[in-house]
Structure 1
Amino acid sequence: MSTSDTTPTAPPSDAHPRFAEALRELGLDVEVRRFPDATRTAVEAAAAIGCALSQIVKSLIFEADGTPVLVLMDGSSRVDVERVRAELGAAEVKRAGADLVRETTGYAIGGVPPFGHRTRTRVLADRGLLDHPVVWAAAGTPHTVFPLDPKSLIAHAGGTLVDVREQTA
């Protein structure tokens, strides 16, 4: 792929086109890695990258009183739905189904990035993401990931820092 010297950097070709456009609009130049096998789960992604499971960012869509909400969680933790409900002041919070995830974000489960979505949603980012200098998130497909420092990732996602991970005994 060739570009002239006056053309801005081309978006990463491995990222989903919508996500590549979001990176371009944000002025983010990140390395998008593509894997031959899907990295739909945090465990698969961590193994493919060679990083700790807690360095993977899960972008999870929930329904809070029928309204989609994105929760960013580290790959080694689970979301405490009751804590999300309390944080949002919602009556009911549940995991969103695949159709709502795609309708809200424009991406399939397993490839949802933390930003660059079809619609603007409220974003809750678990504080545990800040435990690492670099985290890895999906780049819009189950085969692609990108690294970013967690503060920048949360800022670009428009996230509010919260404590919503399940507490271990």
Structure 2
Amino acid sequence: MEQRIGSSSQPLEGAGFDPAFVPGLTPPVSMVKRAQQPAESEETDAEAVEAAEAAEVAADVVEEAAEAADEAAVEEDEAADDGPVFEASDRRARIVADRRGVRLCLDDQECEFRWDEIGAVETETARFGKRFTVTVHTPDRRWYPIEIEAAARSRFAEWESRLDAVLDAYFEESD
């Protein structure tokens, strides 16, 4: 049997508590207020134009900063491409682990983890078949598995060693 603590009645809504609930109950705008509205709208138009110009300037600054960050990232990628990289893919899935982190792709879905977002990386091979499973665990107890189908079971040892090299090079650095 369920027991609820507190009142079981819902708050009332409607015309009894809010006169604006019923259309037509609000008084019409007086002629005096209508005469004052154009002057106020001219002031608000000028303010709106100033706000739009300020927004354009801010957007330009943000765009320039984003372009500079992209250029810096490209230069950094070119400078540090000498580290180990693990990449495995099949017709549907793809995993890439490099100095930036781990990227998992399945069909049209993608997720990317930086090394500081990863708690553990686990690998598993199927007892029968040719599926290689990589699971990325995050510190907040979530995990993201992906299965790659290999052309032959002999690829599993190669993939394990390449992934271990990447994990040794980058995962330990973030600790």
TM-score (norm 2): 0.24
Considering only CA atoms, is the larger Rg found in Structure 1 or Structure 2?
2
Which structure dedicates a bigger proportion of its chain to helix?
A: 2
